[in-house]
């Protein structure tokens, strides 16, 4: 799974070669067409995170990821039939502010998107088991657009120069609360889908918040400085991004027989 990426030679159109699940009919992300949305009164969506359990921030060559010790960081309610334990959160972005989010709304991208990934701790004993299984994953997604400086995001973006190259990580000495990156208004769309990166298993239900959060232009640009290769190596010659992570989002997939539902 290390041979995939977002360049012409290894991008999403090539993923089916190493991730057969990418051929499925319930792939993510999708375009959210707000003219074709059903509404439903879900139970209240509940999530809580333990900031001190967010210990490290990592450049894994594809994105920025913060690992979570999810023992007491849980998600339940809303469209989710079980209790889910937090595992990690990460980001997707583009080379400019007109692209970067994975999901689209009425055919329009946002500059970036946050995903907080949880696994079903009632049905499965590990995330490795859950990621391959029905009802295995629950993902909270938040759109990001340029605007005001985001104080909490600064705790992460200030660390990015320390993890400039793939494989580098840094300690979050004061921890981090991923809920601080979610919008105040938690109306959302939800649908069943897949991992948006290989192996693309169709085991995830997404909750995508309607209200985007704002971060500053400088904060957005700090993500675009990250490198997809290790410090002691050079970017591949066929990497049109020159070794920078300038575009790490998968284009939308057909909705097929699925329904996108809006919370009321």
Catalytic residues: 62
Task: Output the DSSP codes for 26-84.
Answer: S-S--EE-GGG-EEE-PPPEEEE--GGGEEEEEE-SSSEEEEE-GGG-EEEETTEEEEE
Rg over CA atoms, the chain: 17
Alpha-carbon distances of 41 from 79, 257, 259, rounded to whole Å: 9, 22, 15
Do residues 103 and 30 lie in contact, with contact meaning Cβ atoms separated by under 8 Å? yes
Do residues 100 and 113 lie in contact, with contact meaning Cβ atoms separated by under 8 Å? yes
Backbone torsion region of residue 175, taken as left when φ is above 0, otherwise alpha when ψ lies between -120 and 50, otherwise beta: left
Question: CA-CA distance, 249 to 62, in Å (whole number)?
Answer: 10
* 3-class state of residue 219 by DSSP: helix
Residues 6+ apart with CB under 8 A from 122: 82, 83
174, two tokens: 């004061």
Do residues 85 and 241 lie in contact, with contact meaning Cβ atoms separated by under 8 Å? no
């Amino acid at each position: 799974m290390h041979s995939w990426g977002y360049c012409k030679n290894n991008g999403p159109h090539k993923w089916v070669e190493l991730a057969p699940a990418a051929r499925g009919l319930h792939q993510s992300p999708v375009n959210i067409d707000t003219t074709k949305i059903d509404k439903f009164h879900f139970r209240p969506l509940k999530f809580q995170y333990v900031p001190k359990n967010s210990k490290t921030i990592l450049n894994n060559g594809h994105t920025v990821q913060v690992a979570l010790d999810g023992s007491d960081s849980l998600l339940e309610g809303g469209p989710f039939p079980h209790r889910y334990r937090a595992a990690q959160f990460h980001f997707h972005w583009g080379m400019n502010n007109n692209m970067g989010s994975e999901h689209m709304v009425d055919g329009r991208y946002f500059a970036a998107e946050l995903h907080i990934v949880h696994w079903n701790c009632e049905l499965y004993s590990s995330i490795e088991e859950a990621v391959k299984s029905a009802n295995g994953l629950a993902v909270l997604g938040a759109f990001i657009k340029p605007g005001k400086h985001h104080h909490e995001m600064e705790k992460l973006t200030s660390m990015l120069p320390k993890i400039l190259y793939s494989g580098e990580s840094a300690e979050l000495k004061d921890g981090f609360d991923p809920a601080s990156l979610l919008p105040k208004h938690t109306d959302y769309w939800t649908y069943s889908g897949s991992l948006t990166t290989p192996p693309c298993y169709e085991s995830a239900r997404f909750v995508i918040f309607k209200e985007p959060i704002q971060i500053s232009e400088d904060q957005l640009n700090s993500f675009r400085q990250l490198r997809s290769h290790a410090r002691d190596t050079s970017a591949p010659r066929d990497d049109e991004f020159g070794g920078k992570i300038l575009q790490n989002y998968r284009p939308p997939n057909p909705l097929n027989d699925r329904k996108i539902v809006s919370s009321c």
